[in-house]
Amino acid sequence: MKVTIDAARCQGQGRCFGIAPEIFDFDDLGNGVVIGDGIVDDEELKSKARLAQANCPEHAINIEGN
């Protein structure tokens, strides 16, 4: 699974790094960023990534693969 954030959509709602701090961090403006290359293998973390995606009000999180 590869997780990315669409920076043009992200408005810094803060849900992703609240739900899955192992995958998401924030920048100086408080916008979400993906840690590292965004590749997630661990099953538990994958479900956290999906949960973050389902909670993002701006629909800014993209997930490729499963």
Partner 1 sequence: MTIKPPVGDFATDWDHTDPQWVANPYPIWEDLRGRCPVAHTDRYGGGWFPSTYEGVAAVANDTENFTSRTVVIGNGRPGEDAPPAPIGVAPPISSDPPFHQIARRLILPAFAPGPVNALEPQIRELCNHLLDEMGAGLDINAGDDFAAHIPVWVIAKMLGFPDEDRDLFREFVHIVLEGVDEPQEQRIVSFQPVLDYIERQIEDHVANPRDDLTSYMLNVELPNGDKLLPEHIFGTIILTLIAGIDTTWSAISSSIWHLATHPADLERLVNEPELMPLAVEEFLRFYAPVSMARLVKEDMDYLGCPMKKDDWILLGFPAANRDPAVFENADQFIIDREVNRHVTFGLGIHRCAGSNLARLELRVALEEFIKRFPKFELSDPAAVTFSQGQVRGARFLPLTVLN
Verify binding: residue 8, partner 1, rule CB under 8 A.
no
Shortest spacing between CB 18 and partner 1, in angstroms: 7
Verify binding: residue 62, partner 1, rule CB under 8 A.
no
Q: Which two tokens stand for residue 59?
A: 């629909």
Residue in 17, 24, 49, 60 binding partner 1, rule: CB under 8 A: 17
CA distances (Å), origin 34, targets 27, 49, 59: 10, 11, 15
- Judged by CB, which is closer to partner 1: 8, or 65? 8
User: CA 46, CA 41: separation in Å to the nearest integer?
Assistant: 7
Shortest spacing between CB 66 and partner 1, in angstroms: 18
Side-chain-side CA neighbours of 58 within 13 Å: the count stands at: 16
Verify binding: residue 30, partner 1, rule CB under 8 A.
yes
